[in-house]
Amino acid sequence: MTDSMHGQKHVPGLLADIPRQGGFGPSTTKPWSSSPYHHPAAAWGAARSVSKVLISERELFAGTKAMLEMNHPVRGFDCPGCAWPDSNHGVKLDICENGIKHVTWEMTHKRADADFFARHTVAELSQWTDFDLEDVGRLTEPLVYDASSDRYVPISWDDAFTMVGEELRGLDSPNEAAFYTSGRLSNEATFLYQLWVREFGTNNLPDCSNMCHEASGRALTASIATGKGTASLDDWDACDLLLVLGVNAASNAPRMLTSLAHAVKRGAQVVHINPMKEVASTRTIVPHEVLEMAMFKSTDTGTMDVQVRPGGDLALIRGVAKAVFEAEDAAPGRGALDHEFLDRFTHGVDEYRAIVDAATWDDLTAQAGVSESDIRTLAKLYLASPRTIISWCLGVTQHEHGVDTVREFTNLLLLRGNIGREGTGPSPVRGHSNVQGNRTCGIDHRPKEAFLEALDAEFGITSPREHGLDTVKTVAGMNDGTVKVFVALGGNFVLAAPDTKFTAQGLTRCELTVQVSTKLNRSHLVHGRKALILPCLGRTEVDVQASGPQGVSCEDAMSNVQLSAGKRKPASPHLKSEPAILAGMARATLPTSATRWEAMVDDYDLIRDSMSRVLPGFEGFNDLVRRPLGFRIPQAARERIFRTPSGRAEFSHAPTPDVIPASSDVLVLQTMRSHDQWNTTIYSSDDRYRGIKNLRELVFMNRSDMDDRGLSEGSFVDIVATSKDGSQRALSRYRAVGYDLPRGAAAGYMPEMNALIGAADYSVQSDQPLMKNVQVRVTASA
């Protein structure tokens, strides 16, 4: 490795670059192993894995009870595990392994209390793995960093709020502060958060969506004037063809397995498009079908697998469109295209057709990495299907051409009128349990004028109009000194963002960092000159305010909004709810504000009243949200009303991108989650469905690519990534593991591999970091 290697200097707070087994997860000296997984997804392995977590947390009974409360309409709380909707046919026990792990993790009996922080300096904690940090347990009281002892020490809530207020009011401009949201914040807390930030005077609201589905939002807004999917769970139950692209459903949206299995059972076609063959594309034991589980009966969850080249999805879908146009030419007006829909509701199909015609099969197959005959098979399925849904996740969005790709999905759907009709539509799989609700309720660094006008009218304020900073620009701003205060509502920014050392360096340059969190994590150790940790209630806990116990709401990936009320006793009597913490910081920042911060916290109904007047579709919010199954936010596009500038659904006309690396020794590395992790929270160093035990520092490769480099299974390798700006970043002594991946593709785990992604490596279409498109060279370690 060369001296020009980027960012080799160690940043305080980060784990030093010493080789260890287990990555940021629990360190282990047990032998690692890799062997193919041959069982259906979910199944008994899931049950065993759940009981391991429950037992290790000594929460078997409480955990089971909480599971039963989870996702119950009205009485229950919303599962914080993912954004997949609950069954809308009454309550089924559609619980999943990873939801249970997630909830148990929050309910732990362990505590990170003041005694703990008195015993350990920050320098010492920095040497712990991220697993060990979170494993200390729930935070119990507000803490402030004390530089003289290098420790976090207790501070009163009032003093903490005062510190935030004084620091913010002392800035030369409100734009010198940035306010991050991780997608777990409730709608009510979100609304207060953005209100505080805009009343203060900035739109600097970076969020985890900037790393997740920014591309989907931008693409769908441009095409059909809604930032969200239009399909509902009923549509999933009615469709004839499901195209599922770039998602590891068995690990990251396990309740989707139920929908996939039901679809296959009733004869629908389910096509999985992914460079990796994930277990969700084969079989599952439907999580809630106890009888099936007892009989070891599994159900197919896929009917076809397409192993696309990384980033090749646009070319693949364009190939399908090409075959659709060919079918139309072969039998004009016989139903290949939905002419009536195209004429009445869309704009730009002729230009689209011209682009598709001009694309050659040679080019499309090379870019997609899929043969013409496979693409034609896919097209046959599409032409034979009266109702089609296209669903996708990060394998599509975290690429350079994410926006164009999602727009291409919409193009394909439009050709056959697969929008605004039962059993059809685009259907992105969202990540965090309320990431979609956060956007709906105002977390947006590029807010729409109509929203700001309504907000200003409700509160008598003047919101700033200038667009704010997203995640990537916030990190740059911290580094160049233009962002001086960083507030995070949840999340683990330093590990979630790309270019770990650059992000860490940025955080340490801040005047003040404020982390509102439930558990200790790396972002508390990589802190500003002043730093606060403000501990909040978790989703499972009861939230009592002056008017009594409060509920909050969340929006799932299919626009359903439901009330969520925790039942458990809070982990500590000193915790505050997120709305209360936000109101406290807001009052301290805006002492003369006319907003009734205190009253809204006393009774969240008042927050919802304001929301009902500001947010379209939320009229009567307090009543709607108390309906047994909540409500679905209306979407014009579902009714075939497209509020684009032309008033029609817009075809996009993007060129076919070149996604083949210029140099043949470059691999396209994607950074993804293992089965046993939740973003930056790593439960164990296993990845069950990919057959991995006790290992996270690995790179999955095609076996021929390994042979070419003289690597055998488990060989130590160095991975060197070259950024868009030419700078290089490296990880050394990772293990090469053979996997069923196309040649030229590689995969490994986030957040460890964020060290490879440069600050310049974001999509110019979506501003999303290129987390699935890291250009690397892999060589045997010296």
Ligand X SMILES: Nc1nc2c(c(=O)[nH]1)N[C@H]1C(S)=C(S)[C@@H](COP(=O)(O)OP(=O)(O)OC[C@H]3O[C@@H](n4cnc5c(=O)[nH]c(N)nc54)[C@H](O)[C@@H]3O)O[C@H]1N2
Cα(555)–Cα(557) distance, rounded to whole angstroms? 7
Q: Please, which residue, 489 or 607, has the CB nearer to ligand X? A: 489
CB of 96 to ligand X, least distance (A): 8
CB of 437 to Mo ion, least distance (A): 14
Name the nearest CA neighbour of 82 among 106, 61, 62, 98.
98
Q: Please, which residue, 287 or 431, has the CB nearer to Mo ion? A: 431
CB of 506 to Mo ion, least distance (A): 21
CB of 316 to ligand X, least distance (A): 8
Residues between 440 and 499 that touch ligand X (CB under 6 A): 489-493, 496
- Using DSSP's 3-state secondary structure scheme, residue 170 falls into coil
769: which DSSP letter? B
CB of 554 to ligand X, least distance (A): 11
Residues between 544 and 603 that touch ligand X (CB under 6 A): 578
Residues between 754 and 773 that touch ligand X (CB under 6 A): 754, 771-772
Q: Is 536 in the site for ligand X (CB under 6 A)?
A: yes
Q: Is 519 in the site for ligand X (CB under 6 A)?
A: yes
Whether 210 contacts 217, CB under 8 Å: no
Output helix, strand, coil percentages for the chain, rounded to the nearest 5. 40, 20, 45
Question: Binding residues for ligand X, how many (CB under 6 A)?
Answer: 63
Q: Please, which residue, 39 or 772, has the CB nearer to ligand X? A: 772
**Token pair belonging to 594:** 């006319």
Query: Is the N-terminal amide bond of 751 cis, ω within 30° of 0?
Result: yes
**Token pair belonging to 282:** 């084969």
**Token pair belonging to 424:** 């059809």
**Token pair belonging to 708:** 């070419």
Q: Is 107 in the site for ligand X (CB under 6 A)?
A: no
**Token pair belonging to 541:** 């806990």
The item of Mo ion, ligand X, none sharing an interface with residue 671, based on CB under 5 to 8 Å by kind, is: ligand X
Q: Is 185 in the site for Mo ion (CB under 5 A)?
A: no
Q: Which stretch binds ligand X (CB under 6 A): 22-30, 367-375, 472-480, 745-753?
A: 745-753
Q: Which stretch binds Mo ion (CB under 5 A): 50-58, 212-220, 262-270, 366-374?
A: 212-220
**Token pair belonging to 405:** 């790709």
End-to-end CA separation in angstroms for the chain: 10
Q: Which stretch binds ligand X (CB under 6 A): 331-339, 363-371, 536-544, 692-700?
A: 536-544
Quick one: residue 693, left, alpha or beta (phi over 0 = left, psi -120 to 50 = alpha)? beta
Whether 241 contacts 273, CB under 8 Å: no
Binding mask 66-105 for ligand X (x = CB under 6 A): ----------------x---------------x-------
Cα(472)–Cα(365) distance, rounded to whole angstroms? 33
307: which DSSP letter? -
The item of ligand X, Mo ion, none sharing an interface with residue 182, based on CB under 5 to 8 Å by kind, is: ligand X
Binding mask 176-205 for ligand X (x = CB under 6 A): ------xxx---------------------
Residues between 635 and 674 that touch ligand X (CB under 6 A): 670-673
CB of 557 to Mo ion, least distance (A): 11
Whether 346 contacts 411, CB under 8 Å: no
- Using DSSP's 3-state secondary structure scheme, residue 172 falls into coil
Q: Please, which residue, 328 or 555, has the CB nearer to ligand X? A: 555
The item of Mo ion, ligand X, none sharing an interface with residue 551, based on CB under 5 to 8 Å by kind, is: none
- Residue closest to Mo ion (Cβ): 431
Sign of the Cα pseudo-torsion (767, 768, 771, 772, in order): negative
Among 212, 412, 488, 552, binds Mo ion (CB under 5 A): 212
CB of 532 to ligand X, least distance (A): 13
Q: Is 13 in the site for ligand X (CB under 6 A)?
A: no
Among 13, 137, 431, 566, binds Mo ion (CB under 5 A): 431
Name the nearest CA neighbour of 553 among 542, 565, 535.
565
Q: Which stretch binds Mo ion (CB under 5 A): 262-270, 367-375, 429-437, 611-619?
A: 429-437
Among 678, 683, 689, 739, binds ligand X (CB under 6 A): 678
- Using DSSP's 3-state secondary structure scheme, residue 485 falls into strand
Cα(739)–Cα(563) distance, rounded to whole angstroms? 43
Q: Is 491 in the site for Mo ion (CB under 5 A)?
A: no
Q: Which stretch binds Mo ion (CB under 5 A): 115-123, 186-194, 208-216, 455-463?
A: 208-216
Q: Please, which residue, 97 or 167, has the CB nearer to ligand X? A: 97
Q: Is 561 in the site for Mo ion (CB under 5 A)?
A: no
**Token pair belonging to 378:** 């896919």
The item of ligand X, Mo ion, none sharing an interface with residue 135, based on CB under 5 to 8 Å by kind, is: none
The item of ligand X, Mo ion, none sharing an interface with residue 772, based on CB under 5 to 8 Å by kind, is: ligand X
Cα(241)–Cα(226) distance, rounded to whole angstroms? 23
**Number of other residues whose CB lies within 10 A of the CB of residue 646:** 11
Cα(681)–Cα(703) distance, rounded to whole angstroms? 30
Binding mask 235-264 for ligand X (x = CB under 6 A): ----------xxxx--xxx-----------
Name the nearest CA neighbour of 763 among 776, 755, 754, 772.
772
How far apart, in Å, are the Cα atoms of 340 and each of 177, 239, 241, 346, 382? 51, 21, 21, 10, 18
CB of 444 to Mo ion, least distance (A): 16
- Using DSSP's 3-state secondary structure scheme, residue 26 falls into coil
Q: Which stretch binds Mo ion (CB under 5 A): 204-212, 472-480, 544-552, 748-756?
A: 204-212
CB of 306 to ligand X, least distance (A): 8
Give the CB-side neighbour count of residue 725, counting CA atoms within 13 A: 12
Cα(774)–Cα(256) distance, rounded to whole angstroms? 28
The helix (H) or strand (E) run that includes residue 318 is: helix 313-330
Cα(216)–Cα(415) distance, rounded to whole angstroms? 19
Q: Is 680 in the site for ligand X (CB under 6 A)?
A: yes
Sign of the Cα pseudo-torsion (63, 553, 178, 502, in order): positive
Whether 46 contacts 97, CB under 8 Å: yes
Cα(219)–Cα(211) distance, rounded to whole angstroms? 15
Q: Which stretch binds ligand X (CB under 6 A): 342-350, 552-560, 623-631, 677-685?
A: 677-685
Residues between 402 and 441 that touch ligand X (CB under 6 A): 431-432
CB of 54 to ligand X, least distance (A): 16
Cα(466)–Cα(445) distance, rounded to whole angstroms? 9
CB of 573 to ligand X, least distance (A): 18
Quick one: residue 722, left, alpha or beta (phi over 0 = left, psi -120 to 50 = alpha)? beta
The item of ligand X, Mo ion, none sharing an interface with residue 729, based on CB under 5 to 8 Å by kind, is: none
Q: Please, which residue, 137 or 275, has the CB nearer to ligand X? A: 275
β 177-181/745-749 pair status: unpaired
Q: Which stretch binds Mo ion (CB under 5 A): 11-19, 121-129, 206-214, 702-710?
A: 206-214
Q: Please, which residue, 212 or 242, has the CB nearer to Mo ion? A: 212
The item of Mo ion, ligand X, none sharing an interface with residue 673, based on CB under 5 to 8 Å by kind, is: ligand X
Site of interaction with ligand X (CB under 6 A): 82, 98, 134, 182-184, 208, 211-212, 245-248, 251-253, 273-276, 278, 308, 310-311, 313, 393-396, 398-399, 431-432, 489-493, 496, 516-519, 521, 536, 538-539, 578, 670-673, 677-681, 750-751, 753-754, 771-772
Site of interaction with Mo ion (CB under 5 A): 212, 431
